[in-house]
């Protein structure tokens, strides 16, 4: 029982240092000037602590889990880190005493370290499950090598076999645990980093493509013509245009929210301008069943309306109707639907519409999809049939709209 307690003490010491490495070093590795040196020092400290508090098997044999920080340091810290840790083990073991145990340590490291170093390349390229299997296999190889040399230099007993069995189990379990934790934390950090990069890319694309230049030119031309034919109507259209610009140029961080009322004001201004151009060819229907103050992401709904008008209806000579529905569902979520009875799309057209970076179509559906996924983990639902029209919808959990970002009026 005393041996097990000694092993658990070593395990706790290694756990503290390993988790500290993952939480405080890995995420900041690129900003830390001597990151690899810090890694070597941390795992070196773990090695020294393990060897300082060993599990004693009689008066002559000392067992510790030094291979765990040694292997972790080699696999994650690099070859130089592994060599330094191996040298540290030999030097500290020599300091503890020149005896057969030192010879066993040296021989085990001479055989194991080349294998660790060679396998590191495969480890870095492997998927998480394979990394765990490889790390545990290398730990078992070290234990087996050490046991072989132990048998060569010492007499073996049944008690020693039992203790070594416990030793191998603890080493294997430790490597399984720490490698799994390391890879899980690294996976979360990589995913967080990827989401941050995608958020930046989406925000840049969003800001760059908020205003369609052709829409601006056409609107100004319409106002210029109305100034001659219908000055009063030109004044009304100018006011609607100013509302549209005020909402469109109100740039906000990607995590900020606006209100449903503001988003609808932008949509109405846009559609009023387009109706001035297209007349009876453009019809609009609203179905709004949600509170005006409901927090929503800015400029997500309006681009869908713009796509419906420009690519669904106005590409058709007869025009058509765009229907905007905002409903509060039974589960308190808010569903947004933009539907038109225009020309619709085939599969090829739909795929091209979802291609990222397509700035020819206002704010592309790919950018809108990315923003919604980043904010709420949901995506656009698109239904389209050639000659029948297109329906695009998405859902936002009501409770999450209140929690994510801040609302800007």
Beta strands in 275-377 (DSSP E): 282-289, 295-296, 320-328, 334-340
CATH number of 2-202: 1.10.1760
pLDDT of residue 40: 87
Residue 157: CB atoms within 10 A of its CB come to 11
| Domain segments of the chain as ranges | 2-202, 209-403
Q: Is there a contact between 82 and 74 (Cβ–Cβ < 8 Å)?
A: yes
Indicate the burial class of 342 (C-beta count within 10 angstroms; 0-12, 13-18, 19 or more): buried
d(CA 166, CA 7): 10
Residue 348: CB atoms within 10 A of its CB come to 8
Give the residue among 293, 342, 284, 290 at the shortest CA–CA distance from 314: 342
H or E element at residue 63: strand 61-63
d(CA 191, CA 189): 5
Indicate the burial class of 59 (C-beta count within 10 angstroms; 0-12, 13-18, 19 or more): exposed
pLDDT of residue 362: 42
d(CA 234, CA 222): 8
Please list the pLDDT of the chain residue by residue as tens digits (409 residues): 566 777 778 878 888 887 777 666 666 655 556 777 888 888 899 889 888 888 766 555 677 888 999 999 999 888 999 999 999 999 999 998 888 888 889 999 999 999 999 999 999 899 989 999 999 999 999 999 988 888 787 766 676 777 778 788 888 988 998 899 888 888 887 888 787 777 766 665 555 555 667 778 888 888 888 898 888 889 989 998 888 888 777 656 555 778 889 899 989 999 999 988 888 889 999 999 888 888 888 878 888 898 888 877 877 778 899 999 999 888 888 899 999 998 888 777 777 766 655 545 445 677 778 778 777 777 888 888 888 889 999 988 765 544 444 455 5
pLDDT of residue 205: 58
pTM: 0.52
Give the residue among 16, 23, 76 at the shortest CA–CA distance from 45: 16
Residue 44: CB atoms within 10 A of its CB come to 22
Q: Is there a contact between 109 and 92 (Cβ–Cβ < 8 Å)?
A: no
Q: Give whole-number Cα distances, 98 to 65, 75, 160, in Å.
A: 20, 29, 21
DSSP one-letter string for 276-297:
HHHGGGEEEEEEEES-TT-EE-
Domain 209-403 top-level CATH class:
alpha beta
Strands 282-289 and 334-340: unpaired
For CA atoms 286, 291, 296, 298, the dihedral sign is: positive
């Amino acid at each position: 029982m005393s041996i097990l307690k000694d092993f658990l003490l070593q395990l706790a010491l290694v756990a503290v240092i390993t988790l500290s490495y993952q939480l405080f070093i890995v995420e900041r590795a690129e900003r830390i000037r001597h990151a690899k040196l810090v890694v070597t020092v941390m795992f070196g400290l773990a090695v020294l602590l393990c060897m300082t508090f060993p599990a004693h098997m009689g008066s002559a044999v000392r067992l510790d889990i030094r291979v765990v920080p040694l292997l972790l340091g080699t696999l994650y810290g690099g070859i130089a880190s592994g060599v330094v840790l191996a040298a540290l083990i030999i030097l500290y073991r020599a300091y503890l005493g020149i005896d057969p145990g030192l010879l066993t340590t040296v021989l085990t490291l001479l055989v194991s370290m080349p294998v660790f170093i060679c396998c590191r390349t495969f480890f870095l390229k492997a998927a998480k499950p394979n990394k765990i299997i490889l790390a545990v296999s290398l730990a078992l190889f070290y234990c087996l090598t050490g046991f072989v040399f132990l048998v060569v230099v010492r007499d073996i007993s049944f008690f020693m076999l039992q203790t070594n069995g416990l030793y191998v189990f603890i080493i294997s379990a430790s490597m399984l645990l720490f490698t799994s934790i390391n890879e899980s934390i690294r996976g979360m950090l990589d995913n967080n980093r990827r989401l941050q990069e995608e958020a930046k890319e989406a925000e840049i694309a969003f800001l760059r493509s908020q205003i369609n230049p052709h829409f601006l030119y056409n609107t100004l031309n319409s106002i210029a013509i109305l100034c001659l034919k219908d000055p009063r109507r030109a004044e009304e259209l100018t006011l609607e245009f100013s509302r549209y610009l005020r909402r469109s140029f109100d740039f906000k961080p990607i995590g900020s929210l606006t209100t449903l009322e503001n988003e609808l004001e932008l949509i109405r201004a846009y559609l009023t301008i387009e109706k001035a151009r297209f007349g009876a060819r453009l019809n609009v229907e609203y179905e709004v069943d949600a509170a005006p103050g409901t927090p929503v992401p800015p400029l997500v709904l309006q681009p869908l309306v713009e796509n419906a008008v420009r690519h669904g209806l106005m590409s058709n000579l007869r025009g058509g109707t765009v229907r905007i529905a905002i409903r509060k569902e039974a589960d308190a979520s808010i569903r947004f639907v933009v539907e038109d009875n225009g020309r619709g799309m085939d599969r090829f057209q739909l795929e091209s519409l979802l291609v990222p970076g397509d700035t020819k179509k206002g704010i592309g559906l790919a950018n809108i999809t990315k923003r919604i996924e980043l904010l709420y983990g949901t995506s656009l639902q698109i239904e389209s049939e050639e000659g029948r029209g297109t329906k695009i919808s998405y859902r936002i959990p009501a409770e999450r709209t209140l929690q994510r970002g801040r609302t800007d009026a």
